[in-house]
Chain A
Amino acid sequence: MRHVKFSLKLDKNYIVLFFVFMKKLLFSTLLVLITLTTWAQSTALRGVVVDAKTQQPLFNVTANLSNTNLSATTNQQGEFEIANPTPGSQVLYINFTGYVQKRFTLDITTEADIDLGTIYLEEDLTAEQQLSLITLTENDLGDDNSGSETTSGLLQASRDPFRQAAAFNWGQARFRIRGLDNEYGNIFINGISMNKIFDGRPQFSNWGGLNDATRNQEFINGSMPNDYTFGGILGIQAINTRASFMRTGTRVSLSGANTNYSGRGMITYGSGMNKNGWAYAASASYRMAKEGFFDGTDYDAKSFFLAIEKKINSNHSLNLSAIYAQNSRGKNGPNTQEVVDLKGYKYNSYWGWQDGKKRNSRDKDVEEPIFILSHYWDISEKSTLNTNVSYQFGKISNSRLETNGANNPDPTYYKNLPSYYLNFHNTDGSSPIWTPDFNNAERNRQDFLANSQINWDRLYLQNANKGYAVNALYADVMQDNQLTANTLFNTQISNVVGFNAGLTYRNLRSESYQEMLDLLGGGYLIDNDTFLKEEFSASDLNNPNRKIYEGDKYGYNYIMRANVVDLFTQFQFNFGKFDFYLGQNASYTEYQREGLYRNALYADSSFGKGQKLSFENYGFKGGATYKLTGQHIFNFNASYYTQAPSIRNSYSNVRISDATVNGLTDEKIFGSDINYIIRTPKLKGRIGAYFNEIKDATRTSFFYADGIDIEMDDETSSDFVAEITRGISKQSMGIELGAEYQATKTIKLTAAANYGQAIYSDNANVYLNVDGRRESGLSPMVNYGTSYIKNYRVAGTPQQAYSLGIEYRDPNYWWIGANANFLTDIYLDISPLLRTNNFFAEPGQGGAAFSDMDTDTAKRLLKQEKLDDIFLVNLQGGKSWRINGKTFGFFASVNNVLGLEYKTGGFEQARNANYRELLMDHASGTRTFGPKYFYGFGRTYFLNLYINF
């Protein structure tokens, strides 16, 4: 049987035409509708919401009528009122973060008001789960040498059972919703986007540890409409830190864990709004670990939060939120199978003993305070205008060891491992002959086992002997100053039509440089690249042969300036049974690099202001919801937009040159989904199918290339090269299912499944930027042509995931839950360079294939590795007590109860990029340049004790 091909081809013109037509149609219907709906008689739906335990009124609780887009929030007294509710049989939902949702089925008429009286909301004990989540999002894994990063998706604890499973149960296995990286989603704090202009991704550490202060969150799936932005295809997470929205009272919590950190203390206070219209909230937390789950990963994070709000009058409020999160942690790196087999999966080569302490050479320090001033203006009962100005500054630095003429200090350096000798070949003849050296392999094995950590003492000694630093610890620093201002307008034109518009301006000045942290006892270091010939080695010709001391900038130094303006509009139409929406956006992006050093390799393109890059982008989206009844809902969403390449993906080697990526283009993104939602009193669930296609994506990665044939005269020993893959097409599609069944009053069953497929839907193009070629007067760019990656899997997430869970909630305020999860179709990230025609070309033979190649072996060598399936069992539980007006409680969870060891991802090393080299690397069965893997946590626990008063 032939394979059925399921694909969707986009024709931009048709889409544009479609939207232009829809817009025209809409504006005319809009006018009619406005006039039609103004005569409605005035009735109201009212209620007062209080905390079931404390009887205190709850402020800012949302009440919304599900079949309409009518909603209201409670005031300080807990009261809400929805004016002119749509007549008919309606369901009213009362939602408040941290509380169990309430629903009322109502028969609404145009005749009389409905007063629901006092509504009691019960605290949701399971909400404490959210606290254990952030540990994962902050720990984005990455290897500095490769573009491969295992970033987590947007992990969120929304009420959607699928999203809950994705966050709580699958997050630890690095599951990404719809296979999408978090650059396709948006995170907002008080309406300000937290996605960095540099790479489009949020930096979770910027607000890490402030779980209490950031618990007011709103989640939007996919491209569904929201109040903040046009949005990506993954959805948005909007955090609200308004002082008056914070839980009133004090909360103190202490936690223990064995993940990234081992202990955490947090204290949060919310004043509530006083009579004079002032509210303030403050929070502080400290997290630490001498050693986290993986060896040598220390952790130290202090976070502070302050918000002050002033209600000027009934229409105007001002809020200032300040977040200061300082985070310093020792990283752990991915390892090859050989290293894991020798040292276990917790092994981390980045640290070494110094003065009886474990010192990690790769620290990540993040310190970027955020200040957000917001103005909330209720222009009328139906219209609001929210204006925010934010300023964020500070730096992210990543440390690393460097050597100038000394041995590579990395204990896992390939020549230190047994496989180096096991894969020895005699390459004198026309075909290589395997000549393993078992004696030396055994000696390497013993040496490695005895010296498997960084030897700091030796580094100091070498420096002392030389009198200057041949070894040094430096940091790659990125120092940002970002100003963001936006204004968001929201109006309910009539019961039928809602309108949103938002205008955002972002200005970034980001300085990047190398900073000398520690000369390790060496007196100084000369700012030259010793791997290059003398006349090309100067980092800065304006200041040649500079002696570098601790704290000095050196190596590279440049400023990147970016301006982004974004406008979006959105119309939402509601006809009771049938809703639809349309959104549009247009944006302008501009980047400019200014080099502060004149690098000898790029004397004419490294110093001073470079060319301005600018991009104009647009997007359209739309969707419809059909409510068969209040319990059975269908919806459809589609979105198409173009996106400027991020700064990271715009330059070939931004550190020392202004050269941009060849053929720089916008990314084109299409996303669509169709859902069926069921909301019966007992069964809540959603099943949906999605289809996403991303075209013209670019990926840059950097690594040290040993022995890549780049047609150079000499065999370059170690060259820092950039691999640029252009024209990447990615397609993801699948089915999502999430369901929650209330079996009895106390027992709830949950099920979730993701059956997806994320692939590269077309071949791409690869070139390398090899600085060393400048020495021979050659262009640094080496074009490798087509990379045959079509139909390989996009890595970084399990493509299939299943979860079953059971939860028991006792009326006496305790609960316990368990779930079992199976994740499969997890693939290794492929190297595009390996899959170019270069793979078969014998070096120096003008492109002729290896004479001894055969295609079956080639297929085997290029087959994408599928990682082992993951099976995870997790347990959670908690209890709370009310004593003398105070609430005490605890939450505990054990993840991966069975303690199974599992890989969450990994990547192929780009060395040995041809058939013969790769075959030789496989000779002994223990690969020297085999893939590097990331591992998940083994059995971990999290325990949180808290008191609210």
Chain B
Amino acid sequence: MKILKHIFPIAVLTLTGLFAACSPEDEQELPTYSPAIFSDDFEWHTKGENPQNTWGTTAVKGTKKWTFATFRNNSYLYFSAFDNPKEAENDTWVTSNELDIDKANLKRLTFTSTQGFVTDTLNNKLELYVLHNITESNADTVKLHFRKPQLNVPNFTWVNSGIVNLSQFKGKIKIAFRATGSGTDGRYDGTYEVDNIKVF
């Protein structure tokens, strides 16, 4: 009968021990969040600070390239076929630095864009590309769809690109925008602007 005397305290101690050992609060998890692994709102340009990212620009046709511009304290990527020097044909690319898409949680891209005085989106177009399988001399390019700025709304109305799915890519990629136009043909001399680029 001796054990009976101790059964109460033993049971209490064992069970208490089991509980005291774990506090559920320590094991709570936050919802998953998808921080941007690459973003640029070009505010550094407004403030006159160093660039957040290195944007490389090339002109395939003509000499005019994408630039950074500011309007009412907001900066963005800018290309206009209308600006001087006017050239017969423009085809220019702006390419981001390399980013590792595998670090992104959702593998999505969003940005905003506007158009000014664009009337023909065949010869005066804005395109989005992703460069992948990048080597020193070469890269594969994939053209992607996004919600384009509308033509029959006031000029320079920012439009959200919608979600651009980047899940087909692995490893290092670059984001590129391509604009075409003509400074000498009034039908194709519109302007494009791109801002708030985010990969997450």
Contacts and interface: CB of A to CB of B under 8 A. Distances in A.
B is bound to A: yes
A677 to B, nearest CB: 11
Contacts of B39: 851
Given A687-B11, A844-B160, A5 B30 contact: no
A62 to B, nearest CB: 29
Contacts of B162: 846
B19 to A, nearest CB: 6
A859 B30 contact: yes
Given A676-B8, A788-B28, A845 B198 contact: yes
Nearest to A853: B33
B4 interface: yes
Interface stretch (A344-352, A834-842, A921-929): A834-842
Contacts of B153: none
A755 interface: yes
Contacts of A792: 24, 28
B35 interface: yes
B99 to A, nearest CB: 14
Interface in A459-491: none
B122 interface: no
Contact of A862 (B12, B16, B30, B160): B30
Contact of A430 (B18, B19, B24, B41): B41
Interface in B144-200: 160, 162-163, 198, 200
Contacts of A788: 28-31
B30 A848 contact: no
A792 B27 CA distance: 9
A848 B16 contact: no
A611 interface: no
A274 interface: no
Nearest to A792: B28
B8 A3 contact: no
B23 interface: yes
Contacts of B7: 676
Interface in A45-64: none
B186 to A, nearest CB: 36
A742 to B, nearest CB: 18
A5 B22 contact: yes
A911 interface: no
A3 B27 contact: yes
Interface in A1-20: 3-6
A844 B196 CA distance: 13
Nearest to B106: A847
A101 B18 CA distance: 37
A840 B34 contact: yes
Interface string A818-856: 000000000000000001111111001111110101010
The residue among A737, A847, A862, A864 with the most chain B CB atoms within 10 A of its own CB is A847
Given A3-B21, A848-B36, A632 B198 contact: no
Given A3-B21, A676-B11, A846-B163, A791 B108 contact: no
B123 interface: no
Interface size class of A (residues with CB under 8 A): 35 or more
A790 interface: yes
A793 interface: yes
A689 interface: yes
Nearest to B17: A4
B141 interface: no
A493 interface: no
A348 B145 CA distance: 56
A385 B36 CA distance: 71
A430 B40 CA distance: 13
A450 interface: no
Contact of B34 (A678, A835, A848, A859): A848
Given A689-B15, A788-B28, A791-B27, A849 B36 contact: yes
Contacts of B19: 6, 733-735, 755, 757
A6 B4 contact: no
Contacts of A790: 27-29
A791 B28 contact: yes
B161 to A, nearest CB: 9
A849 B18 contact: no
A737 B9 CA distance: 12
B110 A628 contact: no
A840 B160 contact: no
Nearest to A628: B4
Interface string B92-110: 0000000000000010101
A747 interface: no
A603 interface: no
B41 A848 contact: no
Contacts of B136: none
A4 B25 CA distance: 14
A492 B198 CA distance: 76
Interface in A179-212: none
The residue among B18, B19, B39 with the most chain A CB atoms within 10 A of its own CB is B19
Given A840-B33, A849-B36, A855-B30, A6 B18 contact: yes
B54 interface: no
Nearest to A689: B15
A755 B31 contact: no
A858 interface: yes
Contacts of A735: 12, 15-16, 19
A759 interface: yes
A138 to B, nearest CB: 33
Contact of A849 (B4, B35, B41, B163): B35
Nearest to B161: A846
Contacts of B108: 846-848
A585 B146 CA distance: 58
B32 interface: yes
B117 to A, nearest CB: 27
Contacts of A835: 31
B110 A846 contact: yes
B144 to A, nearest CB: 14
A687 B8 contact: yes
Interface in A801-823: none
Contacts of A859: 30
A855 B29 CA distance: 11
A374 B16 CA distance: 48
A6 B36 contact: no
A757 B108 CA distance: 41
Contact of B200 (A687, A733, A849, A853): A849
Given A849-B200, A851-B36, A791 B25 contact: yes
B46 to A, nearest CB: 12
B52 to A, nearest CB: 12
Contacts of B21: 3-4, 6
A844 B163 CA distance: 10
A687 to B, nearest CB: 6
Given A790-B28, A847-B163, A4 B18 contact: yes
Interface string A410-436: 000000000000000000001000000
B49 interface: no
A851 B41 CA distance: 11
A689 to B, nearest CB: 5
Nearest to A846: B163
A839 B31 contact: yes
A6 B163 contact: no
B124 to A, nearest CB: 27
A838 B200 CA distance: 14
Contacts of A847: 34, 106, 108, 163, 200
Given A689-B11, A755-B16, A837-B34, 13 more contacts: A3-B21, A3-B22, A3-B27, A6-B18, A6-B21, A676-B7, A735-B16, A793-B24, A837-B33, A846-B162, A849-B200, A853-B35, A864-B25
13 contacts: A3-B22, A6-B18, A6-B22, A788-B31, A791-B24, A791-B26, A837-B31, A837-B32, A837-B34, A841-B34, A849-B34, A851-B35, A858-B33
Interface of B: 4, 7-8, 11-12, 15-16, 18-19, 21-36, 39, 41, 106, 108, 110, 160, 162-163, 198, 200
In order of increasing CB-CB distance, the 4 nearest A-B pairs are A840-B33, A4-B21, A846-B163, A791-B24
